[in-house]
A and B are shown apart, each in its own frame.
Chain A
Amino acid sequence: MRLAALLLAGLLATPALAVQPDEILADPALESRARDISQGLRCLVCRNENIDDSNAELARDLRLLVRERLEAGDTDAEVVDFVVDRYGEYVLLNPTTGGANLILWIAGPVMLMGGLGLAALYLRRRRAAPEPAAAALSEEERARLAEILKD
Chain B
Amino acid sequence: MIVELGHFALVLSLGVALVQSFVPLVGAHKRWSGWMAVAEPAAMTQLLLIGFSFAALTWAFVTSDFSVRLVVLNSHTLKPMLYKISGVWGNHEGSLLLWVLILALFGACAAAFGQNLPPTLKARVLAVQGMIGAAFLAFLLFTSNPFLRLGEPPFDGQDLNPLLQDPGLAFHPPFLYLGYVGLSMAFSFAVAALIEGRVDAAWGRWVRPWTLAAWVFLTIGIALGSWWAYYELGWGGFWFWDPVENASFMPWLIAAALLHSAIVVEKREALKSWTILLAILAFGFSLIGTFIVRSGVITSVHAFANDPERGVFILLILAVFMGGALTLFAARASAMEAKGVFGIVSRESGLVLNNVLLTVACFVVFIGTIWPLVAELLWDRKLSVGAPFFNAAFTPFMVVIALVLPLAAVLPWKRAQPGRAMRPLWGALALSVALGGLVFAMQTGRSALGPVGLALGSWLVLGAIVDLWGRTGRGELAGRLRRLSRLPRADWGKATAHAGLGVTIFAVAGITAWQVEDIRVMRPGESFTLNAYSITLEGVREVEGPNYASVMADFRVTRDGREVATLHPEKRSYPVAAMPTTEAAIDYGFTRDLYLVIGDAQEGGGYAVRSYIKPFANWIWGGSMLMALGGLLSLTDRRYRIAAGARRPPVAVAAE
A residues lining the B interface (CB < 8 Å): 1-7, 10, 14-22, 24, 39-40, 42, 46-50, 53, 88-95, 99-101, 104-105, 107-108, 111-112, 115-116, 118-119, 122-124, 126-127, 129-132, 135, 147-148, 151
In the complex, the answer to whether A115 meets B360 with C-beta atoms within 8 Å is: yes
| In contact, B521 and A21 (Cβ under 8 angstroms) | yes
Segment with Cβ contacts to A, from B185-193, B300-308, B319-327: B300-308
Interface residues of B (CB under 8 A from A): 161, 163-164, 225-226, 228-229, 233-235, 237, 240, 242-245, 270, 299-303, 338-344, 348-349, 352-353, 355-357, 359-360, 363-364, 367-368, 371, 375, 378-379, 381-389, 392-393, 396-397, 519-521, 578-582, 597, 599-600, 602, 608, 610, 642, 646-647
Name the B residues within 8 Å of A14 (CB-CB): 600
A18 touches B344 (CB 8 A): no
Task: Return 16 A-B CB contacts under 8 Å, by A number.
Answer: A1-B242, A3-B302, A17-B597, A20-B519, A48-B301, A89-B381, A89-B384, A95-B385, A101-B371, A104-B385, A108-B363, A112-B357, A127-B344, A129-B341, A132-B341, A147-B646
* Contact assessment for B344 and A124 in the assembled complex, using a CB-CB cutoff below 8 Å: yes
Nearest chain-A residue to B643 (Cβ)?
A148
A127 to B642, CA, bound (A): 33
A127-B384 CB under 8 A given contacts A2-B301, A4-B300, A116-B356: no
With contact pairs A7-B161, A17-B597, A93-B388 given, residues A53 and B608 touching in the complex (Cβ less than 8 Å):
no
Q: Is there contact, CB below 8 Å, between A48 and B384? A: yes
Bound Cα distance from A95 to B344, whole angstroms:
39
Residue of A nearest to B348 (CB): A126
Given contacts A1-B225, A119-B356, contact A10 B579 (CB under 8 A): yes
- Bound-state CA distance A123–B270 (Å) is 11
Known A17-B234, A95-B384; contact A49-B608, beta-carbon cutoff 8 A: no
Write out the residue numbers on chain B whose beta carbons fall within 8 Å of the beta carbon of A22: 521, 602
Q: Decide yes or no: A1 and B245 within 8 Å by CB, A53-B237, A108-B393, A115-B360 being known contacts.
A: yes
By a CB distance below 8 angstroms, the chain B residues around A48 are 240, 242-243, 299-301, 384, 386
Within the complex, what minimum Cβ distance (angstroms) separates A26 from chain B?
13
Complex CA gap A108/B366 in Å reads 10
Bound-complex Cα distance A136 to B340 (A): 15
Closest to B368 in A: A104
Bound complex: CA A116 to CA B163 (Å): 44
Q: How far is the CA of A68 from the CA of B642 in the complex (A)?
A: 70
CA distance A134 to B340 in the complex (A): 11
In the bound complex, residues from chain A placing their C-beta under 8 Å from that of B341 are 126-127, 129-132
Smallest CB separation, B335 vs chain A (Å): 15
Q: Does A46 contact B349, Cβ atoms closer than 8 Å?
A: no
The 7 closest A-B pairs by CB, nearest first: A93-B386, A10-B579, A94-B388, A2-B301, A17-B599, A115-B356, A4-B303
**Looking at the complex, which one of B228, B521, B646 makes contact with A148 (CB distance below 8 Å)?**
B646
Q: Is the CB of A47 within 8 A of B300?
A: yes
Contact assessment for B385 and A4 in the assembled complex, using a CB-CB cutoff below 8 Å: no
Contact B235 A42, beta carbon cutoff 8 Å = no
**From A147, which residue of chain B is reached at the shortest CB distance?**
B646
Q: Which residues of chain A have C-beta atoms less than 8 A from B378's C-beta?
A: 100
Bound complex: CA A151 to CA B303 (Å): 53
Given contact pairs A1-B229, A95-B383, A132 touches B339 in the complex (Cβ within 8 A): yes
Instruction: Give the distance in Å from the alpha carbon of A107 to the alpha carbon of B370 in the complex.
Output: 13
State the CA gap A17–B299 with chains docked (Å). Answer: 23
CA distance A19 to B611 in the complex (A): 12
Q: Which of A17, A93, A123, A147 contacts B352 (CB 8 A)?
A: A123
CB <8 Å contact, B578 and A108: no
Quick one: which of A1, A21, A151 contacts B520, CB cutoff 8 A?
A21
Q: How far is the CA of A93 from the CA of B245 in the complex (A)?
A: 16
Known: A94-B388, A107-B364, A107-B367. A4 touches B338 (CB 8 A): no
Q: Kindly list chain B residues whose C-beta atoms are within 8 Å of the C-beta of A122.
A: 352
Give chain A residues whose Cβ lies under 8 Å from the Cβ of B356.
112, 115-116, 118-119
Partner of A126, one of B229, B338, B388: B338
Which residues of A sit under 8 angstroms from B371, Cβ to Cβ?
Answer: 95, 101, 104
What residue of chain B has the Cβ atom nearest to residue A19's Cβ? Answer: B519
Question: For chains A and B in complex, what number of residue pairs have CB atoms within 8 angstroms?
Answer: 187
Q: Is the CB of A16 within 8 A of B608?
A: yes
With A17-B610, A88-B382, A93-B389 known to touch, is A123 a contact of B344 (CB < 8 Å)? yes
CB–CB B642/A151 < 8 A = yes
Tell me the complex Cα distance, A108–B391, Å: 13
From residue B413, how far is it (CB to closest CB) to chain A in Å? 12
Q: Can you name 9 extra interface pairs (CB under 8 A) apart from A17-B608, A95-B389, A112-B397? A: A1-B245, A18-B234, A20-B519, A21-B608, A89-B382, A94-B388, A100-B378, A111-B363, A127-B341
Contacting residues, chain A, for B387 (C-beta < 8 A): 39, 50, 93
Closest to A105 in B: B393
Bound-state Cα–Cα, A147 to B363, Å: 43
Minimum CB–CB distance from B160 to chain A (whole Å) comes to 11
Instruction: State the CA gap A57–B258 with chains docked (Å).
Output: 45
| A91 surroundings in chain B (CB, below 8 A) | 384
Quote the shortest CB–CB distance from A148 to chain B (angstroms).
7
Chain A residue nearest in CB terms to B116: A144
CB distance from A63 to the nearest CB of B (A): 12
Q: Which residue of B lies closest to A113 (CB)?
A: B360
Task: Select A100's contact among B300, B343, B379, B384, beta carbons within 8 Å.
Answer: B379
Q: Could you tell me if A126 and B340 are in contact, using CB atoms closer than 8 angstroms? A: yes
Once A104-B368, A129-B338, A151-B646 are accepted as A-B contacts, the answer to whether A18 and B235 lie under 8 Å apart by CB is yes
Contact A6:B344 (CB < 8 A) given known A89-B383, A95-B389, A104-B367 = no
A24-B519, A95-B389, A100-B381 in contact; A10/B367 too (CB < 8 A)?
no
The distance from the CB of B371 to the nearest CB of chain A, in whole angstroms, is 5
Query: In whole angstroms, how far apart are the Cα atoms of A104 and B370 in the complex?
Result: 10
Judging by beta carbons under 8 Å apart, are A92 and B367 in contact? Answer: no
- Note all chain A residues with C-beta closer than 8 A to B578: 10
Decide: B359 and A115 in contact? CB cutoff 8 A: yes
Residue of A nearest to B226 (CB): A1
- Enumerate chain A residues within 8 angstroms of B234, measured Cβ to Cβ: 17-18
Q: Which residues of A sit under 8 angstroms from B388, Cβ to Cβ?
A: 39-40, 93-94
Contacts of B339 in A (CB 8 A): 132, 135
- Bound-state CA distance A129–B386 (Å) is 46
User: Which residues from chain A contact B349 at a C-beta distance below 8 Å?
Assistant: 119, 123
**Complex interface: chain B residues within 8 A of A132 (CB):** 339, 341
* Closest Cβ neighbor of A112 among chain B residues: B360
Distance in Å: Cβ of B260 to nearest Cβ of chain A: 13
Q: How far is the CA of A148 from the CA of B639 in the complex (A)?
A: 10
Residues of the A chain whose Cβ atoms lie less than 8 Å from the Cβ of B580: 10, 15
**Which interface residue of A42, A53, A94 has the most chain B CB atoms within 10 A?**
A94
Write the nearest CB–CB distance from A48 to chain B, whole angstroms. Answer: 5
B646 close to A90 (CB less than 8 A): no
- Give CA–CA (A112, B396) in the complex, Å: 11
The interface residues of chain A lying within 8 Å CB-to-CB of B344 are 123-124, 127
Q: Which of B342, B353, B364, B647 contacts A127 (CB 8 A)?
A: B342
* B343 (CB) vs chain A CBs: closest residue: A127
